[in-house]
């Protein structure tokens, strides 16, 4: 028996109604009110269906259960009341599911996220497959939201407050094994028998043969009696005692929540309201009961949906989603060419990092060339170190690490490069050397081997001058450390062929990167907008500001680290070199204060030299190296500056230069500019990127503030022509 | 130089297109932490890179290992799976003791000759730093019984019968199974029965070191031996063989004490091949395929033969039995051969083999009209042999094939005879041509 539906199918087989969720015309299942209505109609039918003693809910999609609520839906919401209403609607629907008179089993394979997991939590029993495709989680906080359909209430009740808070506050995903351990699911089964076992368990629940006992927080499926040894194990389980101590009494609970809040604030610095709200809502539910908890959840959800932070985070989500579909060229029909082998010239930190992401994530063969055996050893040891780290963290088995590591080979000549589809150079920033690399590769490889430069400052057009077929020359600017930094900035020069761009964009995506494509120009986009920002920080120091204060100002603004710390990390000599390139290209507005020379001469190169603005003594806490002030104007006599003003000066430089990049056609769109600044430079995500920030502040106000500083400090604060133009025309970036 | 011909048997001609080996190093030195599998996959990986082989073209891989790794017994297949080669590349592991990588080459070459394959990688790998140690049979049986028992007393019971000596780990055998004699004992026996003097043995050893050292100095090994950055820490890179010595002398060799027969013996550590770690690989193709892919072959496999003798007689005399057959199959005689490369298990064995090849009575014993002939020592092992270079059992055959082909090229010569003696009285011989 089956009933044709738009998004669900219903079939009863030997006493069990199987409801298959298969959203029409969509690659994955998502939740929306219309879906709920259709589902509830089917449940009503199941309730009265004599042939159905129990229900199994399963997905009809290949490797996805339910990916969560449809996010577009939230963008359309006009008011807090409307958002709260949406939450209540979801809650009511899942309340009914929770109270449904027949047992309901969720059969989970693939992503079971957000609303999808809340749905599953409202079922009586959860079975997940052991597939690597299966993951469960409540990622709402990553969009500045909280679970709004009962998740903040059901999860702590199922697995205990401590474990639930960890999942809700971080938004992290669980693999099946861990989900079982925490008690989020009751059983984990091999994928092919998911439906069969689910139907069997549904019937057992209906017949009273299976009564899941869930000892909160440590509940594993108890199919049968608990053995003595399991009880013993329970006694020795540290987590169990911690749970008992922290959650079962009001004092412990207060301690737990206070601790969680403290840790949270350390991370969010008060910039992200969602996790704080989640914490409150969970607490309300535990102290005042489910009903009060749900009401608090709906209220908080409504507030958050309308919050600026959530709006920005959702916009970033959509921007990155759009970038995933973008081939990086004007012509969406251009297809990337297959890449089976990647060459890397220079096995330093960058080169080795690229070799790692190419082998580990993209899963292609990598050939590294370095100048001598020592260089080869360093490169391989570095890649190996990254694999060892993953094995240690158990995010990869040693067997997989061995296989992946075996994709990476290294040499001191050009052997093994002939078959490379893409060669990425990561050698010194020296145009002559890069030209030699272009010529060498063209002598060894075919005319369609792509030559990508990982330069962070040299114009690609200049590099391409050495090429016999410049259409294959492109820039692939990775960020350090490559395995951690999410952005890849691809730089095309005028002659770069579209297929080359599309191929490199695809390589970046396959390496797990968010890829933006920008046009060539000195410093491209990211290095270029960073330069005046860092310069401004240097000016502040030259004017007598305190090092730690400058950093604190920008961290307070929302950057992950302050500019002076960043300078130490990047290397003061490197920054000086790039600074000079910028100055040559853009004139005096990029002129750095002449304090860096003295620092470099003093051997203060930053972290790599263990000598910079801060101390790098492994045994001691990092602090400002007081001796550095001797090399700065005003010496030890530091002045007080207003923190907000310090931040504003730096940020306006950053933002103004970003607008210039858009005006000059370096950027294809404000979207790319925002994503590049957030993922490449750590611009605060809750502000949505420089262009969203300007839009939110008002273009007029940004112009006014820039002009204000222009009056005080002169040319370097000259507003970007495009900003003036937009203000005149009354335009916004979005 | 012999020009390309279709082999007399009508099968396809097999080209050796490339080859590579790791440095051969004394056991428990640079490769101490590596397994045979590690070494094998390192050399295959780099061979693929250096020959710029499109892995899509590869049909099969045959590899060998003599001292087994119990955790990865099928080294050939593991190499395929661990080097990023296409998983459809079928593979099997072979073992013919010291002639293992002659066997692996022949197995693949036959597939190519018959038209069943076009491109193959073959070779062998050995780690004498990683020999398997296992438990005595009584201890093993007790452990198995214990694992099946249901409770603690029952688990302990099987161990009651265990004696102290059962607790000692058992190393792999070094003696011939049927005779109980070690290789060294057999070499001693051959030296005595064939009247091979200590001096003659030391001279062979000296030539081996001098030839190998000269070859290194002249850069003859540059294209044969890869640099191995040593995993897993990559703190050092193995760049050269570490057994060969350019400073050894007859006096120094003469000063060494016999190892196997301390009283009457002549076989010393200096005139025998040492325990060695290393791996070697070859890239084979049908002649047509090599041409189609634009490869310039190093040479061609003209013929081969395996033969065997009673291990209780003269264990390492196999080459003297196999060489005349291989020459017959090649339609050649010794005078058509430009270079001879004979595996040096022991100098006593080399001298005995050469003696037999030249011997009329040995020919009679084989029922042949005359002896193979006298091997010109100046054409023997011109780039050194296993005494100086080392002998990672399964890698030696591939090492010799590649080495002698490169030696032919350097001298602009055309043909070579390769022989390898092996455990159990086995012998292998191969005729190569350019």
C-alpha A348/C-alpha B48 separation (Å) is 24
With beta carbons less than 8 A apart as the criterion, state whether A119 and A94 touch.
yes
B46–A406 C-beta distance less than 8 A: no
Provide the β-strand partners of residue B429: B305, B419
Q: What is the pLDDT of residues A545-582, one digit of tens each?
A: 999 999 999 999 999 999 999 999 888 988 888 888 89
> Which range among A229-238, A259-268, A593-602, B115-124 shows the weakest confidence by mean pLDDT?
A229-238
Task: For A386, list phi and psi in degrees, rounded to 5.
Answer: -65, -35
C-alpha A79/C-alpha A305 separation (Å) is 9
Provide the β-strand partners of residue A514: A487
> Which range among A234-243, A440-449, B78-87 shows the weakest confidence by mean pLDDT?
A234-243
User: What single string gives the DSSP state of each residue in A14-42?
Assistant: TTEEEEEE--TT-SS--B-HHHHHHHHHH
Q: What is the pLDDT of residues A685-732, one digit of tens each?
A: 999 999 999 999 999 999 999 999 999 999 999 999 999 999 999 999
**Residue B82 contacts A, CB cutoff 8 Å:** yes
Task: Please give the pLDDT value at position A224.
Answer: 40
A415–B52 C-beta distance less than 8 A: yes
Instruction: Tell whether the model's pLDDT for residue A246 goes beyond 90.
Output: no
Give A384→chain B minimum CA distance, Å.
7
With beta carbons less than 8 A apart as the criterion, state whether B405 and B19 touch.
yes
Task: Please give the pLDDT value at position B3.
Answer: 45
Task: Please give the pLDDT value at position B149.
Answer: 87
C-alpha A56/C-alpha A52 separation (Å) is 10
Residue B40: both structure tokens together: 């094998």
A377–B237 C-beta distance less than 8 A: yes
Out of B209, B304, B383, B421, the active site residue is B421
C-alpha A112/C-alpha A21 separation (Å) is 13
Q: Dihedral through CA B44, CA B48, CA B54, CA B59, nearest 10?
A: -30
**Residue A668 contacts B, CB cutoff 8 Å:** no
Per the annotation, the verdict on A536 as an active-site residue is no
> How many angstroms separate the Cα of A729 from the Cα of each of A154, A658, A733?
52, 19, 12
Task: For A113, list phi and psi in degrees, rounded to 5.
Answer: -125, 155
Q: What is the pLDDT of residues A506-519, one digit of tens each?
A: 999 999 999 999 99
Give B237→chain A minimum CA distance, Å.
7
Q: What is the DSSP letter of A131?
A: -
**How confident is the prediction for chain B on average, in pLDDT?**
95
Instruction: Tell whether the model's pLDDT for residue A677 goes beyond 60.
Output: yes
Of A440, A434, A431, the residue nearest A413 (C-alpha): A440
Question: Which residues in chain A are closer than 8 Å to B234, comparing Cβ atoms?
Answer: 376-378, 380-381, 384
**Residue A416 contacts B, CB cutoff 8 Å:** yes
Task: Please give the pLDDT value at position B329.
Answer: 96
pLDDT (mean) for A43-69: 95
Residue recorded with tokens 């634009």: B294
N residues, chain A:
734
Question: Which residues in chain B are closer than 8 Å to A347, comparing Cβ atoms?
Answer: none
Longest dimension (CA), chain B: 76
Per cent of chain B over pLDDT 90 is 85
Q: What is the pLDDT of residues A374-411, one digit of tens each?
A: 999 999 999 999 999 999 999 999 999 999 999 999 99
**Residue A671 contacts B, CB cutoff 8 Å:** no
Sign of CA dihedral A601, A604, A608, A610: positive
A403–B234 C-beta distance less than 8 A: no
A403–B82 C-beta distance less than 8 A: yes
Residue A147: both structure tokens together: 């679970």
Query: Which pLDDT band holds residue B6 (cuts at 50, 70, 90)?
Result: low
pTM of the full predicted structure?
0.91
Task: Please give the pLDDT value at position A1.
Answer: 39
With beta carbons less than 8 A apart as the criterion, state whether B403 and B291 touch.
no
Out of A303, A489, A506, A648, the active site residue is A489
Helix ranges (H only) for B72-157 are 75-82, 100-113, 137-148, 152-156
Task: Please give the pLDDT value at position B170.
Answer: 82
Task: Please give the pLDDT value at position A429.
Answer: 87
C-alpha A446/C-alpha A285 separation (Å) is 66
Give A193→chain B minimum CA distance, Å.
28
Question: Which residues in chain A are closer than 8 Å to B30, comparing Cβ atoms?
Answer: none
A406–B234 C-beta distance less than 8 A: no
User: What single string gives the DSSP state of each residue in A619-664?
Assistant: TS---B-GGGGGGSTTTT-PBP--HHHHHHHHHHHHHHHHHHHHHT
> How many angstroms separate the Cα of B432 from the Cα of each of A286, B298, B419?
84, 10, 11
User: How many residue pairs from chains A and B have C-beta atoms closer than 8 A?
Assistant: 55
C-alpha A566/C-alpha B371 separation (Å) is 81
Instruction: Tell whether the model's pLDDT for residue B155 goes beyond 90.
Output: no
Query: Which pLDDT band holds residue A176 (cuts at 50, 70, 90)?
Result: very high
Task: Please give the pLDDT value at position A222.
Answer: 37
Question: Which residues in chain A are closer than 8 Å to B151, comparing Cβ atoms?
Answer: none
A403–B81 C-beta distance less than 8 A: yes
Q: What is the ipTM of this complex?
A: 0.92
Task: Please give the pLDDT value at position A235.
Answer: 56
pLDDT (mean) for A41-69: 95
Per the annotation, the verdict on B98 as an active-site residue is yes
**Residue B234 contacts A, CB cutoff 8 Å:** yes
Instruction: Tell whether the model's pLDDT for residue A2 goes beyond 50.
Output: no
Q: What is the pLDDT of residues A658-671, one digit of tens each?
A: 999 999 999 999 99
**Residue A360 contacts B, CB cutoff 8 Å:** no
Instruction: Tell whether the model's pLDDT for residue B7 goes beyond 70.
Output: no
Residue of A nearest to B84 (CA): A407
Of B398, B403, B399, the residue nearest B416 (C-alpha): B403
Q: Looking at the partner chain, which of B49, B233, B237 has a beta carbon nearest the beta carbon of A376?
A: B237
Query: Which pLDDT band holds residue B160 (cuts at 50, 70, 90)?
Result: confident
State whether residue B281 is helix, strand or coil. strand
Task: Please give the pLDDT value at position A551.
Answer: 96
Q: What is the pLDDT of residues A25-40, one digit of tens each?
A: 999 999 988 898 999 9
CB hemisphere CA count around A694 (13 angstroms): 33
Question: Which residues in chain A are closer than 8 Å to B238, comparing Cβ atoms?
Answer: none
**Residue A6 contacts B, CB cutoff 8 Å:** no
Q: Looking at the partner chain, which of B49, B82, B232 has a beta carbon nearest the beta carbon of A406?
A: B82
Q: What is the pLDDT of residues B207-265, one digit of tens each?
A: 999 999 999 999 999 999 999 999 999 999 999 999 999 999 999 999 999 999 999 99
Task: Please give the pLDDT value at position A597.
Answer: 85
B49–A403 C-beta distance less than 8 A: no
Q: What is the pLDDT of residues A193-236, one digit of tens each?
A: 999 999 999 999 999 999 887 765 433 333 344 455 555 555 55
Residue from B18, B23, B232, B236 to probe the interface with A (highest A Cβ count within 10 Å)? B232
Per cent of chain B over pLDDT 70 is 98
Task: Please give the pLDDT value at position B1.
Answer: 42
Instruction: Tell whether the model's pLDDT for residue B410 goes beyond 60.
Output: yes
Task: For A238, list phi and psi in degrees, rounded to 5.
Answer: -60, -40
């Amino acid at each position: 028996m089956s009933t044709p539906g738009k998004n669900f199918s219903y079939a009863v087989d030997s006493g069990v109604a199987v409801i298959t969720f298969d959203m029409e015309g969509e690659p994955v299942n998502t939740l929306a009110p219309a879906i709920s209505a259709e589902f509830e109609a089917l449940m009503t039918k199941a309730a009265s269906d004599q042939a159905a003693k129990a229900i199994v809910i399963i997905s009809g999609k290949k490797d996805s259960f339910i990916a969560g609520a449809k996010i577009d839906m939230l963008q359309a919401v006009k008011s807090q009341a409307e958002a709260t209403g949406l939450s209540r609607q979801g809650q009511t629907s899942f309340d009914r599911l929770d109270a449904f008179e027949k047992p309901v089993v969720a059969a989970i394979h693939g992503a079971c996220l957000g609303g999808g997991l809340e749905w599953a939590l409202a079922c009586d029993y959860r079975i997940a497959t052991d597939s690597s495709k299966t993951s469960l989680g409540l990622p709402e906080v990553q969009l500045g939201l909280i679970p709004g359909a009962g998740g903040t209430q059901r999860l702590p009740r199922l697995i205990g407050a401590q474990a639930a808070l960890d999942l809700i506050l971080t938004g992290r995903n669980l693999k099946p094994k861990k989900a079982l351990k925490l008690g989020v699911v009751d059983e984990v089964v091999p994928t092919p028998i998911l439906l069969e076992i689910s139907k069997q368990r549904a019937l057992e629940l209906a017949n009273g043969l299976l009564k899941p006992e869930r000892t909160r927080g440590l509940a594993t499926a108890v199919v049968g009696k608990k053995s003595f040894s399991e009880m013993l194990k329970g006694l020795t389980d540290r987590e169990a005692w911690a749970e008992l101590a922290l959650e079962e009494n009001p004092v412990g609970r207060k301690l737990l929540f206070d601790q969680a809040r403290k840790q949270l604030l350390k991370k969010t610095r008060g910039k992200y309201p969602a996790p704080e709200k989640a914490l409150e809502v969970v607490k309300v539910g535990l102290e005042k009961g489910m009903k009060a908890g749900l009401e608090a959840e709906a209220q908080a959800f409504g507030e958050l949906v309308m919050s600026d932070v959530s709006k920005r985070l959702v916009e970033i989500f959509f921007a990155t989603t759009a970038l995933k579909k973008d081939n990086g060229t004007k012509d969406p029909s251009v297809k990337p060419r297959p890449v089976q082998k990647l060459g890397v010239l220079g096995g330093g930190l960058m080169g080795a990092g690229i070799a790692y992401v190419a082998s580990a994530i993209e899963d292609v063969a990598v050939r590294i060339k370095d100048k001598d055996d020592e260089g080869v050893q360093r490169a391989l040891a570095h890649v190996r170190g990254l694999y060892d780290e993953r094995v240690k963290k158990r995010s990869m088995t040693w067997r997989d690490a061995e296989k992946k590591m075996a994709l990476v080979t290294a040499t001191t000549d050009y052997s093994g490069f002939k078959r490379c589809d893409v060669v990425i150079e990561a050698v010194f920033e020296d145009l002559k050397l890069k030209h030699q690399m272009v010529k060498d590769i063209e002598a060894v490889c075919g005319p369609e081997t792509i030559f990508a430069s990982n330069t962070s400052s040299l114009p690609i057009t200049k590099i391409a001058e050495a090429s016999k077929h410049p259409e294959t020359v492109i820039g692939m600017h990775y960020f350090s450390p490559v395995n951690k930094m999410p952005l890849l900035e691809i730089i095309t020069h005028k002659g770069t062929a579209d297929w080359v761009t599309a191929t490199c964009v695809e390589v970046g995506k396959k390496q797990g990167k968010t890829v933006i494509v920008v046009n060539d120009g000195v410093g491209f986009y990211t290095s270029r907008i960073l330069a005046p920002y860092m310069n401004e920080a240097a000016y502040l120091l030259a004017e007598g500001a305190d090092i730690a204060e400058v950093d604190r100002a920008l961290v307070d603004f929302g950057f992950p680290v302050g500019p002076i710390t960043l300078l130490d990390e990047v290397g003061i000599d490197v920054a000086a070199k790039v600074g000079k390139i910028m100055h040559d290209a853009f004139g005096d507005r990029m002129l750095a204060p002449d304090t860096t020379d003295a620092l470099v001469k003093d051997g203060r190169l930053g972290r790599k030299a263990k000598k910079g603005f801060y101390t790098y003594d492994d045994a001691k806490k990092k602090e400002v190296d007081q001796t550095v002030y001797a090399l700065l104007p005003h010496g030890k006599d530091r002045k007080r500056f207003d923190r907000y003003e310090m931040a504003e000066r730096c940020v306006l430089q950053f933002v103004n230069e970003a607008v210039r990049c858009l005006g000059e056609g370096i950027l294809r769109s404000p979207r790319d500019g925002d994503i590049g600044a957030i993922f490449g430079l750590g611009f605060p995500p809750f502000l949505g990127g420089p262009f969203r920030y300007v839009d939110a502040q008002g273009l007029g106000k940004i112009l006014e503030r820039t002009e204000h500083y222009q009056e005080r400090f002169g040319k370097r604060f000259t507003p970007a022509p495009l900003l003036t133009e937009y203000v005149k025309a009354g335009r916004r970036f979005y | 130089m012999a020009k390309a011909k279709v082999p007399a048997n009508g099968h396809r001609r097999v080209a050796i297109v490339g080859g590579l080996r790791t440095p051969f190093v004394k056991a428990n030195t640079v490769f101490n932490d590596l397994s045979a599998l590690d070494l094998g996959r390192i050399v295959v990986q780099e061979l693929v890179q250096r020959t710029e082989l499109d892995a899509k073209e590869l049909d099969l891989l045959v590899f060998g290992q003599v001292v087994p790794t119990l955790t990865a017994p099928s080294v050939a297949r593991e190499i395929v799976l661990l080097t990023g080669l296409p998983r459809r590349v079928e593979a099997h592991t072979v073992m013919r003791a010291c002639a293992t990588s002659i066997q692996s080459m022949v197995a693949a070459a036959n597939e190519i000759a018959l038209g069943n394959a076009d491109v193959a990688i073959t070779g062998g790998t050995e780690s004498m730093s990683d020999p398997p140690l296992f438990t005595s049979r009584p201890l093993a049986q007790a452990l198995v019984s214990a694992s099946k028992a249901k409770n603690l007393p029952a688990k302990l019971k099987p161990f009651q019968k265990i004696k102290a000596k059962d607790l000692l780990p058992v190393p792999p055998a070094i003696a011939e199974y049927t005779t109980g004699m070690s290789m060294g004992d057999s070499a001693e026996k051959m030296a005595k029965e064939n009247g091979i003097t200590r001096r003659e043995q030391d001279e062979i050893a000296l030539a081996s070191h001098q030839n190998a050292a000269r070859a290194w100095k002249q850069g003859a090994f540059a294209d044969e031996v890869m640099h191995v950055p040593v995993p897993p820490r990559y703190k050092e890179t193995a760049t050269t063989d570490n057994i060969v010595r350019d400073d050894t002398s007859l006096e120094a060799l003469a000063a060494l004490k016999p190892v196997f027969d301390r009283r009457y013996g002549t076989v010393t550590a200096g005139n025998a091949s040492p325990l060695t770690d290393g791996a070697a690989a070859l890239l084979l193709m049908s002649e047509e395929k090599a041409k189609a892919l634009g490869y310039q072959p190093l040479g061609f496999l003209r013929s081969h033969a395996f033969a065997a003798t009673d291990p209780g007689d003269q264990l390492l005399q196999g080459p003297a039995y196999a060489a005349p057959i291989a020459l017959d199959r090649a339609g050649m005689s010794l005078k058509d051969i430009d270079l001879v490369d004979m595996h040096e298990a022991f100098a006593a064995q080399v001298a005995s083999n050469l003696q037999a090849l030249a011997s009329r009575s040995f020919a009679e014993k084989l029922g042949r009209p005359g002896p193979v002939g006298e091997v010109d020592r100046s054409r023997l092992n011109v780039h050194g042999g296993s005494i100086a270079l080392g002998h990672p059992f399964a890698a030696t055959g591939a090492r010799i094939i590649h080495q002698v082909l490169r030696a032919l090229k350097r001298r602009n010569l055309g043909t070579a005879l390769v022989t390898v003696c092996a455990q159990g009285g086995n012998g292998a011989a191969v005729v190569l041509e350019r």
